[in-house]
Amino acid sequence: MTTNNLGLYIHIPFCRQKCKYCDFLSFPCTSEQVYGEYVTAVGMEMDMRREDCAGYETDSVFIGGGTPSLLSPEDLTRLMEKVRENFRVTDDAEITIEANPASLTRDKIAAYLAAGINRISIGIQSFDNQVLRRLGRLHDKNEAFQKIQMARKAGFDNISIDLMFGIPEQSNKTWLDSVRQGIFLGPQHISLYSLELEKGTPLYREVYEEKKFDPTPEIIDREMYHDAVELLKQAGYRHYEISNTARPGFESRHNLKYWSYQEYLGVGPGASSFFGGKRFRNYAKMNAYINAIKHRTVPMDAATIEHYSELEEMGIYVFTGLRKEEGISLTDFRQRFEVDLFSVYDPAILRRHKGMINLYDNRLYLTDAGRDVSNRIMAEFV
């Protein structure tokens, strides 16, 4: 029996408080007891998945959130034990934890390293205190500096930071200052996220209803993006995916799985999976999730499994692949689907989006200009 590789995603759906722009699945909660109970529940979910994953080697684990750094060293250790108990984690696996500078401590960092976590992704967002306040972050610039240094000194040699742009009334200058400071600190991986103002978030209300701030014009947003990418490239980072840059060899394996048509299993409420050829999502409501676990059943509704046709899967392959700098290989496409890409899709797409999407050396990829309007191009393939 051949073994497949698997990415494991563990969702930690708690935050001390929600940031003003966030519409991800997380609940404000400060109770250590609840965290502990939750770790037990997610451990039970992994127990249930053990058999399904017997034929897989897990070469990436990603503990994301929410705020995974809220977990105590003990809970985190327990969680990682459960991972190793149920999944065949390879020796060279990439094991990432997301951390918020505000809750990251020396003890926790030590516990991460002891549990075999070898990559830490720190949610910095900005090195500008005014911007951090506007976003409702719990940390300031100094704390961000400190925690990055702390992680490095403790022994992390694969550190990622998130930076955010297009924040209301953030200027291109203050943004690029944050990028420069990020580069100066020398993390192996820097993610760049353009802020999306989502309906229902406090920041959305402040901008569009209370009109406290002006939204960033699209044209400025794009300037910020391209200028930042330029700085990062000069500093030796590879722009390997729309929102991610890394020093060569430090591209996130887990992140790439999403864009490379590889399998991943998500545990925890709301977690998504592409597993055994199926795409599904766990219950997003905490009650429903916990209830299912209590009854020793998989915390998802089988009726919500997406059954995509071969053609739809091809579309997913293409639009996810196009997020990567390297794009997609026509040879891989043919090997996987046993048909030529351009016998499925109209070659006129290339003409319609001239200068946005290129075909070179048997690879189909987006240009810098194409990345700005990637949705329009990707929509051609769904």
Under the criterion CB under 8 A, does residue 218 sit at the interface with other proteins? Answer: yes
Binds other proteins (CB under 8 A): choice among 312, 340, 346, 368: 312
CB atoms near residue 369 (< 10 Å): 13
What is d(CA 18, CA 137) in angstroms, rounded to the nearest whole number? 8
| Residue type at 273 in one-letter notation | S
Under the criterion CB under 8 A, does residue 137 sit at the interface with other proteins? Answer: no
Under the criterion CB under 8 A, does residue 189 sit at the interface with other proteins? Answer: no
Binds other proteins (CB under 8 A): choice among 24, 145, 337, 345: 24
CB of 153 to other proteins, least distance (A): 30
Residue numbers 232-291 binding other proteins by CB under 8 A: 242-243, 255, 257-258, 264, 266, 270-274, 279, 281
Residue numbers 63-102 binding other proteins by CB under 8 A: 64
What is d(CA 264, CA 356) in angstroms, rounded to the nearest whole number? 30
By the 10 Å C-beta count (0-12 exposed, 13-18 middle, 19+ buried), 39 is classed as buried
Partners of 60 in the β-ladder: 7, 94
Beta-strand (E) ranges in 40-87?
Answer: 56-65
Binds other proteins (CB under 8 A): choice among 82, 141, 147, 371: 371
Q: What string of DSSP letters covers 179-218?
A: HHHHHHH--SEEEEEE----TTSHHHIIIIIS--SPPPPH
Q: State which residue, 140 or 230, has the beta carbon closest to other proteins.
A: 230
| Residue type at 302 in one-letter notation | A
Q: Which of 62, 59, 136 is nearest to 99 (CA)?
A: 62
Under the criterion CB under 8 A, does residue 365 sit at the interface with other proteins? Answer: no
Among 107-115, 179-187, 200-208, 371-379, the segment contacting other proteins (CB under 8 A): 371-379
Q: State which residue, 114 or 382, has the beta carbon closest to other proteins.
A: 382
Beta-strand (E) ranges in 77-188?
Answer: 89-99, 119-125, 159-165
The tokens for 344 are 């499925």
Among 73-81, 114-122, 213-221, 285-293, the segment contacting other proteins (CB under 8 A): 213-221
CB of 154 to other proteins, least distance (A): 27
Compute φ and ψ for 264, nearest 5 degrees.
-150, 150
Q: State which residue, 38 or 111, has the beta carbon closest to other proteins.
A: 38
For other proteins, how many residues bind (rule: CB under 8 A)? 44
Under the criterion CB under 8 A, does residue 373 sit at the interface with other proteins? Answer: yes
Binding mask 313-352 for other proteins (x = CB under 8 A): --xx--xx--------------------------------
The stretches of 235-309 forming alpha helices (DSSP H) are 253-259, 286-294
Under the criterion CB under 8 A, does residue 375 sit at the interface with other proteins? Answer: yes
CB of 376 to other proteins, least distance (A): 5
10 and 38 in contact (C-beta within 8 Å)? no
Beta-carbon contacts of residue 204 (< 8 Å; ≥ 6 apart): 21, 197, 198
Among 40-48, 50-58, 219-227, 336-344, the segment contacting other proteins (CB under 8 A): 219-227
Between 286-294 and 32-49, two packed helices, what is the crossing angle to 10 degrees?
Answer: 60
Under the criterion CB under 8 A, does residue 372 sit at the interface with other proteins? Answer: yes
CB of 295 to other proteins, least distance (A): 25
Q: Which of 192, 253, 270, 202 is nearest to 225 (CA)?
A: 192
Under the criterion CB under 8 A, does residue 54 sit at the interface with other proteins? Answer: no
Q: Where along the sequence are the contacts to other proteins (CB under 8 A)?
A: 9, 11, 24, 64, 192-196, 218-219, 221-222, 242-243, 255, 257-258, 264, 266, 270-274, 279, 281, 306, 312, 315-316, 319-320, 371-376, 378-382
